Amino acid sequence: MSVRPPVTVLRDFGVEEVPRALAGGQGTSWLAGGLVFKPETATVVPGLDGVREDGFRLAASCRTRDGALDSEGWSATRWVAGAEPDYSRAETWRDVIAAGRAFHRAVAGIARPGFVDVRQDWWARGDRVAWGERDARFRAEFAGVAVRLSRALGLLGEAQLVHADLTRNVLFAPGLAPAVIDVSPYWRPVAYAEGVVVADALCWHGAEGSLLGLVGVSVPAVARALLFRMATTNERDDLPDVQDEARRYAAAASAIGL
C-alpha cells in the first residue's frame, strides 16, 4: 500500500477526515473529504479547476486554502460518482468518445503546460516516438508492425490540451453526465486522443475494425495511437509477455486495414 497523505497536506486542502485507500489506477490514490489525493504534482494543469462542465463532469483539480495546486508533493481532485461501463458493448466506446469530445471542447482555450516538453516517463517517450520527435529502435517483435503503422500516418489537426488516456477514465452514473477522471495531459490533436481510445478498444477489449466508423475516428488517428501505445510498451523493461503484446498490436493494425 502506498504512503497516505500527511495530515498537514489534508489540512492544507481543508480536510480533517482520515483518508482511505482507493483501488485501481497505480494504487496511490486516497479519498478523504470528497477529494482524491495523489502523490503527483508534475502533471497538474493550471486552468482545469475553472473549466465549465457542459456534457461531462470533471474530477477537477482542487486548490489549497492558500490557492496552490499542490501541497508537499501531493495534489487533489474532486471525487465524482460513477462506475466503469461495459466495454464489451460497442455503444460504450461511442459514449466514451462523446464524453472526450465534450471535455476537449471545454479545455480548448487552456494554455500549453510547460511540463509536456520535459516529461520523461514511458508514456511521454512513446508519444514522442509516435510523432517523430524521438528515435527508437523497436524490438524485433514490434518492428514489422511499426512499419505497417507508419504507412498510414497523416495530419490530424491543430494541437491543444488533450486527455490521452480516456479509456477506463470515463465513469457513468444514472441520470448524470459522464465523468472524466485522471486527466493524462498531452499537447496533441483531439483526433489523436480519440485514436487512443479506439486503439485500446482493439487491443484490449475485443473490439472490431468497424468501431472506427461507429465512433467517427479515422485510420490515421488510430494508426498513430497504436504506434504510441506500442512505442510506450517498447520502452518498458518489465513486460511479462512480449509476444502477446506484439500479437495484440499486429491484430489491431490488421483490423484497421494495415
- pLDDT > 90 in the chain, percent: 84
The pTM assigned to this predicted structure is 0.93
pLDDT at 1 exceeding the cut of 80? no
Instruction: Summarize pLDDT for 184-213 with one digit per residue, the tens.
Output: 999 999 999 999 999 999 999 999 999 999
Q: Residue for cell digits 493550471?
A: 46
Which pLDDT does position 25 carry in this prediction?
A: 60
Instruction: Summarize pLDDT for 46-72 with one digit per residue, the tens.
Output: 888 889 999 999 998 899 999 998 999
pLDDT at 42 exceeding the cut of 80? no
Residues in contact with 226: Cβ distance below 8 Å, sequence separation at least 6, in sequence order: 145, 149, 195, 199, 202, 203, 249, 252, 253
* Cell numbers found for residue 210: 468497424
Closest CA to 87 of 192, 209, 194, 171: 171
Neighbour tally for 106: CB within 10 Å? 18
Instruction: Summarize pLDDT for 76-104 with one digit per residue, the tens.
Output: 999 999 999 999 999 999 999 999 999 99
